[in-house]
Amino acid sequence: MVAMSESNMINAQTDESLKEAPLQEITTNVLIVGVGGQGVIMLSKVLAALCQEQGFDVKQSEVHGMAKRGGSVFSHVRFGKKVFSPTIPQGNADILVALEWAEGLRWLSYLNPEKGVFIADTQRIVPPFACRDRRRYATSGYVQESVEEVINQVPNSSAMDAVAMAKELGVPKAANTILLGALSTTLDFEVDNWKSIIARFVPPKTVEANLMAFDTGREWIDNFDKQTQLENSVTAVTSPLEIWPVEQNQAVVEINAAWCKSCDICVKFCPERCLALDSQQIATLIKPEACTGCRVCERLCPDFAINIHTPAVN
């Protein structure tokens, strides 16, 4: 995912030649990604408004709406003396802010491979399509790369658990503002300017909480030490999904033939179609391996003939 295509490398080189120019001369590219409902658009609005106030030419473009809550959302913010194109070419983002872990990895190819700054939240929001196997402990299709792997590969990267930090502050929704605080350390704007813009964009009742979250993000980045992060994050990423093999956790379906009255409810309601009526018109399990232990049959059986035993979770 980190590997760059050839054309991107060329882009990166042209960028290199502009390195000496003052900030106002070159365009700074910030890419903010996440999923619907996290506050991606709000972050980019704050950033764009701030840059505009500072006299920069700003272009911002985003994809939202279709994503609904939980879908992929991204926003390009470009600012400089004069900005010509609203979107960031691949490999040219100076800063990539990811509000969700997999989204961050999805957009890594847009980050400038040498001097790009990667700020990520380790929060994992698993989309429904990543876990189509409905059995317990089935392996999910969610990204398997651990935090330390990515942090090691990407220079100038930092990963924080912003949601946990926001919860600690008592404002779980302000995780995006914490990341904004972290972002603010990489740009040359006054803290007071940042804060006045944030106060303008967040709901009036949450201004104080958001400013607190902003300071927390700044503080965290100042104290950030890659080595300690790597040591601490090891336990955080081991997912229970990978520990348990599916076979050992197969649900056991116990059917009491003497109580079954062949009403057919279990057969017709089973989402995996693993039950059927046998020659005696008694419900039987025909595909034991397909059973996910969802208990629909057990709960809708009017004769209490089905009992599902799922292994205890601990």
Partner 1 sequence: MIEENIQRFDIRDYLRTHLFPHFMCPGCGHGIALRALLWAIHELGISKDKLAIISGIGCSGRTGAYIDAHTIHTTHGRPLAYATGLKLARPDLEVIVITGDGDCLAIGGNHLIHACRRNLNLTCLMLNNETYGMTGGQVSPTTSNDRFTTTTPLGNYEPVFDACALAIGAGASLVGREITMHVTALKDLMKEGISHQGFSFLEILSDCTEIYGRKNELGESAEMVLSQKANYRSDSYGNQVDEPFKPRDITTGILAKNDRVEYLDACHQHKMSKLQKAMNT
Binding site for partner 1 (CB under 8 A): 136, 258-259, 261-265, 267-269, 293-295, 299-305, 307, 310, 312-313
**Residue whose entry in the numeric block shows the structure tokens 């100076």:** 94
Q: Which helix (H) or strand (E) holds 96?
A: strand 95-98
Residue 234 CB contacts under 8 Å (≥ 6 apart), including other chains: 148
Between 273 and 299, name the residue whose CB sits nearer to partner 1.
Answer: 299
Q: What is the radius of gyration, based on Cα positions, of the chain?
A: 25
The least CB distance from residue 292 to partner 1, in Å, is 10
Between 82 and 268, name the residue whose CB sits nearer to partner 1.
Answer: 268
The least CB distance from residue 99 to partner 1, in Å, is 24
The least CB distance from residue 136 to partner 1, in Å, is 8
The least CB distance from residue 132 to partner 1, in Å, is 17
Between 17 and 248, name the residue whose CB sits nearer to partner 1.
Answer: 248
Between 78 and 135, name the residue whose CB sits nearer to partner 1.
Answer: 135
The least CB distance from residue 164 to partner 1, in Å, is 22
- Tally the residues of the chain: 314
Between 227 and 248, name the residue whose CB sits nearer to partner 1.
Answer: 248
Between 274 and 305, name the residue whose CB sits nearer to partner 1.
Answer: 305
Spatial separation of the C-alpha atoms in residues 124 and 98, rounded to whole Å: 11
CA torsion through residues 157, 158, 163, 169, sign: negative
What distance, in Å, lies between the first and last C-alpha atoms of the chain?
34
The least CB distance from residue 254 to partner 1, in Å, is 10
Helix ranges (H only) for the chain are 6-17, 40-53, 101-106, 147-153, 162-169, 175-184, 191-201, 207-222, 226-237, 240-243, 265-269, 296-300
